[in-house]
Every structure is written in C-alpha cells, then in structure tokens.
Structure 1
Amino acid sequence: MTLDHPAKTPVRPDAIIVGAGPAGLTAALYLGRFRRRVLVIDGGDSRAAWIPTTHNHPGFPDGVAGTTLLDLQKEHALRYGARIQKGTVQALSAADDGFVLEIDGDTLRAATVLLACGVEDNAPMLPNVDEAVRRTLMRICPICDGFEVTGQRVGVIGHGPLGAREALFLRTYADHLTLIHIAAPDALPAEERALLADANVTVIETPIESVELQLDQPRALCFAGAGRMEFDALYSALGVTPRTGLALAMGARHDDQGRLEVDDHQQTSIPGLYAAGDMVRGLNQITTAQGEAAIAATAMHNRLRGV
C-alpha cells in the first residue's frame, strides 16, 4: 500500500496537522472519523522511528517496532480519508479565516492547525558515539526500556540534575550503575551527589575518549588516562530540544523548558492552534502523545462546529 498521497490537495482542509508521529497520526484518525478534511504534513523525522522494539505500548505484548507502529497508524488514518503529504513547514501565520502555512514553496490554508512536531534529542558530542546512536545502541528513554536493562551494568552519560535524576531512576533496574558526568564538577550540586552516593551510584568525571562497540551492544567507554569501563547498556541523559519554532514565532506561550503551554483541550495561547505530544509534555511517551492528540482533535472538530 502506498502511504503517501500526491503533494497537492485539491480542497482546502479543515485541519492541517504538522507532524506524522504517533500524536499527529492519532489526530488524523480522529478528525477523519469526524468526517473532517485533514492533511498531515510528514517531515519524516518522527522520534518513534528510532525505536527497534518497544515493550511499553499497550496492546503489543510481544513488542512492536517504532516503524511498524507508524505504518499501522498511517494506514489507519488513510482509511478514514486523511491525506499525508511529505514536506517541511517553513512558516506559520494567522489569517482572518484561520492559518496560512508555507510548505516547500506552496501556500496552504486551514481553519485549524495541530502542531505535533515532537522533540530532538541532544546527543552526546563524543568520539565514535554517532554509530551507537544510529544503531540505537545508545538508549535515550529509561521510562520506555528501563525494564530491559534489569540486572545489568548501566552507564548514564549526562550532566547536572537531569543526569542525576535519570541515573537514580535507572537504579531501580540496574545492578551496577555509573553516571558519567560530562560537565564541570560544580554542575552537579551537592544534594544530587548525596542522593547518588546513597543509591550506590558511581560518579565518573574523567573525559571520555571513545565508545567501543562490540557485536550488537556498546561494550565499553574509554576514559582519558583512566583506562576503560565495560557496560551492558548505555543511556544518554542530555535532554531534548522541543521543535516549537513555528508556534514561538507566532508568540505562543511556553514554559521555561521551551515546551508549549496548552489548555485542557490542548489549545495553545493562540486560538485555533493546538499542540500535542512531546513538544507539550516532558514525559516523552507515545501513549500520552496519542491521548493528547485525541483530545486536540475532538476540540478542533468542536471548534469547526462552532461549539
């Protein structure tokens, strides 16, 4: 089945969704079943596509690959009339009758817009780490797959309170846990150091020279002047950058982490502009993104009804 529709839509959509991840595709399904004309702009960079297998998604007891989940969601939305167009939104602005979007040189209009653009992970800038990230050997979501490292030797690459929090979270699973702190020592406050010590988490602050990969897992980190340490799993705990530029350029309100502020119906501070998923809430989970998208889609439908 071909999942991508032609680049142009002949009829003005009621709603345009920016982002074809779990949130955007859930909203497309709902709006399609509400018999709305909905167009999804697929930038092709869904974070879910990185997931080799998740055992954390309800309804898939044997696990499901991120790409498989996305394909299933696309097929589901298409069955109910949603249109999916590959492209990038360069600009978003308000108009008397809704919104104007500039998409790869084309101009599209819609009465309502849902932003489901997700976040971008802040990957560690370390020698030889790109291959580990590309092959998903460097894990990024302890909530998603912490269970899979139960009883293992785990290294967490991070800095400051965020790195400490993720290390402490993973301590529930790992038999041996090490925080590789890659910032200045004073970036890790004394309070966090005490909590790490109480949890028997080792803290290393020697610069990393390289990441060694063996077979299908990262096996060791080599430290400057301090030899090497072997791990069964490595996590990056450097946070994310929300993809909120389109909304911020319009003056939408955001929190101190750059995530968009929304009301109980997922509407931003700009009437008719909605947001769902990781760019709104820091849990960064597929299930919460899907739930928020369902709320947003219903609110968009009701707005179009004049309710």
Structure 2
Amino acid sequence: MAVNGDILDCLIVGGGPAGLTTALYLARFKRRFRVIDSGSPRAAWIPTSHNIPMFAEGISGKDLLARAKTNLEQYGDCILPGMVTGLRKQPDRFIAVVEGNDGSTSQIAARRVVIATGAVDIEPDLPDVPNAVQRGLVRYCPICDGYESRDQKIAVIAYGAHGIGEAVFIARTYSRDVTLLTLGQHLELDPEQQGRLDEHGVKVVEAPIESLAMENDRISAMNVAGKEHRFDVLYSALGLKYRSDLALSLGAEHDPSGSLIVDSHCETSIKGLYAAGDIVRGIDQIVVGMSHAAVAATHIHNHCELPTEDEPGGA
C-alpha cells in the first residue's frame, strides 16, 4: 500500500471484470498499482453468461471473477480488500482515502486512477421477495442470456420509455410472448410507443403484483388483480444506480443518470482519471468493460511518466 510519500503509477477502484482486466494489463506492463476491492461487483450476480467468448457452456459471474483473480495472482499480491471513501486531486497525484474491512483508514497516492466501481440494478418491489435480482430470481441482462430464453413466455418488470424499449427488444429478438409488468404504475403511451408495443405483440399489465408463488427456487406464478400469471422467465428493466460518486466529487463529466463520459482512451474530463466498465456511459457488457480496461491501461502505461495538464510542462 502506498503511504508516506510513496506514489503508485495507478490506483484501480473496483474488483469486477473491468478492474481486474485493468490490473492484468498494468501488471504485464510492469507498473506499480493496487486494486481496491469492496467485494460486491455486479458481475457476481450473473447465474450464467453465454456471450463471453471461449466459454461455450456459459460461465457464472462468480467463476469468471475467481478465474480473473487467480490469473492475476501470478503477478503478485495486488488486491486490497476495502472501500475508497474519498478521492482528491493534487497537481501531481490523486489521494484516495481507503477504509479497510478491519475498520482501519489509510491513504494511497497514485499518479493515475481508474474508476471501475460499476453500477447496481434497481431491485423490483415484489411482495415478500427482497433482492430478487441479486438472488437470481429475476434476470437483468437479456443480451447475456436472452438466447437461452428464446420462444418462452417472458415478463419484463419496468415502466417508462426504458421499459418499453426493453420489452420491444426482447419481443423482436427472442420471443413473441412478452408481457410488460409496471408494478401498479400507469404507463403513459404516445401513439408511437403504443404502435411499437402493438407491432411486436407486447402485452401490458399495470395492476400491482399482490402475491407470488415460489417453486424450486424460482418465481412460478404471480397474482395480479386476482388473476394468476405464469411466466418462464422474468427480467427487470428498472435501470441502474451508478457508483460514480468518487468521480463526480472531482467534477467529472457525466450524463443525467450519473454514468461517466469518457474519451477514446477511456479518460474522463478530469486529467489522469479514467473509467472502465458499467460506470461508463454506453452498453453494459462484461466484454465491453474489459475492452475499456485494455484501452485505459495501455494509455496509462504510455503516459505514466508524463506530467498531466495540471503540472508544470503538462500537455
């Protein structure tokens, strides 16, 4: 851990696929870095992903993370459990405040920082079933596993334009039997939106879910307005909460949802501060986050000895 004037080349905040891929690249570039891992990556929620190359039978998020960490171990012990609770920028470095799992507090100095803290799915408010997405009872990524749900009876829990878009995406790609559940919220539809739903045969149920039936660790039925609905697959499309507070505290540019806007090198509007993974505005996919990591790490390696624009002689 870098303290007492010791400055790392890079600090990586987040131990998900993007953070661990950044670490792998920097390790192979022989850079001095550390990963701060809070132990709660979104990827760990994935039961099985089938669209990561080389894993024909699919791979769970937990197995993917375990493999990434095992791979990284051959380059030394570089992952520190804890959470970065504060980040400030000085002319030649960033200073991160880190709270360890044992309650200790320390500071780490680094010339560059990669924010790979990701996002958290907004959980649906289901009766007597908290944390349904984290528990794998409700899926959240039809891009990852929609192919395995093809031609099945699918429900999308959502409302608003995003929910309509998700339901139409699934209906036109994987199944002609899709229902949009709005959990009691009235869905205001303009003619264009109604036309899209009608074109793809998407049904809309606005009444709240009154009760659920569980069977073999899955939601087998929903009671809505006194009527039982059964679905083979449930997806949630309620959006994300982006873990971007550290970057926002430094004034990094972001969109209205809080996801970060980066350049072609995955550098934020704050010189020396990079972002990778779900926290970056765009498509939320593991392979995309890993590509962010490769781009950011290579740019960091190529510029690590160069001063930032805030330093004398900086570009």
TM-score range, shorter chain: over 0.9
**Aligned-pair CA distance for 1:96:** 2.4
Q: Do the aligned partners of 1:37 and 1:82 also contact (CA within 8 Å) in 2?
A: no
Q: Do the aligned partners of 1:13 and 1:110 also contact (CA within 8 Å) in 2?
A: yes
Residue number in structure 2 paired with 1:206: 207
Q: Do the aligned partners of 2:7 and 2:111 also contact (CA within 8 Å) in 1?
A: no
Over the matched positions of the two proteins, sequence identity in percent amounts to 45
1:54 partnered with 2:49: yes
Q: Which moved more, 1:289-298 or 1:166-175?
A: 166-175
**Aligned-pair CA distance for 1:194:** 1.8
What is the letter of the counterpart of residue 31 of structure 2? R
Instruction: From the superposition, tell whether residues 143 and 46 of structure 1 become closer, same or farther in structure 2 (CA, over 3 Å).
Output: same
**Aligned-pair CA distance for 1:198:** 1.4
Correspondences of 1:145-184 after superposition (within 5 Å): 145-171=145-171, 172-182=173-183, 184=185
Deviation by residue 1:213-256 (Cα, 9 ceiling, x = unmatched): 21142211111x33110001111110111111001011111112
**Aligned-pair CA distance for 1:9:** 5.2
What is the letter of the counterpart of residue 91 of structure 1? G
Q: 2:34 aligns with which of 22, 33, 39?
A: 39
Correspondences of 1:219-238 after superposition (within 5 Å): 219-223=220-224, 225-238=225-238
Residue number in structure 2 paired with 1:289: 289
Q: 2:89 aligns with which of 77, 91, 94?
A: 94
CA distance in 2, matches of 1:260, 1:131: 26
**Aligned-pair CA distance for 1:63:** 1.1
**Aligned-pair CA distance for 1:82:** 5.6
CA distance in 1, matches of 2:246, 2:300: 19
CA distance in 2, matches of 1:71, 1:247: 27
Structure 1, unaligned stretches of length 5 or more?
A: 1-7
**Aligned-pair CA distance for 1:116:** 0.3
Residue number in structure 2 paired with 1:142: 142
SS of equivalent residue, structure 2 residue 36: strand
If the length of structure 2 is used for normalisation, what is the TM-score?
A: 0.90
Residue number in structure 1 paired with 2:313: none
**Aligned-pair CA distance for 1:263:** 0.8
**Aligned-pair CA distance for 1:186:** 4.7
SS of equivalent residue, structure 2 residue 294: helix
Residue number in structure 2 paired with 1:241: 241
Q: Do the aligned partners of 1:277 and 1:290 also contact (CA within 8 Å) in 2?
A: yes
1:16 partnered with 2:11: yes
Deviation by residue 1:58-92 (Cα, 9 ceiling, x = unmatched): 01111111111111111222222360000011100
SS of equivalent residue, structure 1 residue 93: strand
SS of equivalent residue, structure 1 residue 305: coil
Instruction: From the superposition, tell whether residues 187 and 303 of structure 1 become closer, same or farther in structure 2 (CA, over 3 Å).
Output: farther
**Aligned-pair CA distance for 1:190:** 3.5
Residue number in structure 2 paired with 1:259: 259
Q: Do the aligned partners of 1:99 and 1:111 also contact (CA within 8 Å) in 2?
A: yes
Correspondences of 1:183-202 after superposition (within 5 Å): 184-202=185-203
